[in-house]
Amino acid sequence: MRRQGASTRRRLVMSVGCVIVTIMSRPAFAAPLKLLVLGDSLTAGFGLPHEDGFQARLTAALHAQGIEVTIVDGSVSGDTSAGGLARLDWVLSDGADAAIVELGANDGLRGLPVEEMERNLTTILDKLDAKRVKVLLSGMYPPPNFGEDYTLEFRAVFDRLSHRPGILYDPFFLEGVALEPSLIQPDGLHPNAEGVARIVARLLPLVVRLLGEARPT
């Protein structure tokens, strides 16, 4: 009886030890990544139901790939690069792991000086870099009514910023959508629901890469 009791006790200790090892070896569940979307009406979902807007569609697409993400909404319709800079510290108050920066469309629509836009965007990227926030910069084209020189200078700003170390770059947010009337709302400026779906599908691989660099597996 004593031998059986000792054997039973040894088996119990070994069993408990295995349970402890198993529990301790489990990886901790990571919190969802925080993705800041700093932009204007194009990422704010202007003219669309919430579920059809860029942020909601992007969140759904990421979840479908098993990527848990919380969007930090930093998009305001009508905003310029100056407006984005002015509210950046506030929207970053709770932190972010990565950011999509989509600004410049309203600078171009208003014909604002490209030097000011470049200064604003540079400061935004500097602030994000200082907080170790990984960035996807999405560029923009201005309307043609301000002339060829303005267009070239405007585009050159994004070309220069795209060479910053660590930046992921998308040359034109509305690529494949801007010149397709069936994908644009009646105002001729903003993507409709299908247009947003096209933008999200095109940007999704870049956003997945961005989040992977923000928190490597």
> Which residues are annotated as catalytic?
41, 187, 190
Q: What is the 3-state secondary structure (H, E, C) of 122-135?
A: HHHHHHHHHCCCEE
3-state secondary structure of 44: helix
φ, ψ (nearest 5 deg) of residue 88: -60, -50
- CA distance linking residue 87 with residue 74, whole number of Å: 8
- CA distance linking residue 118 with residue 6, whole number of Å: 77
Nearest-5° Cα angle at 185, 149 to 71: 90
φ, ψ (nearest 5 deg) of residue 147: 95, 165
Q: What is the token pair recorded at 136?
A: 């996807």
Give the distance, in angstroms, between the CA of residue 200 and the centroid of all CA atoms in the same chain. Answer: 11
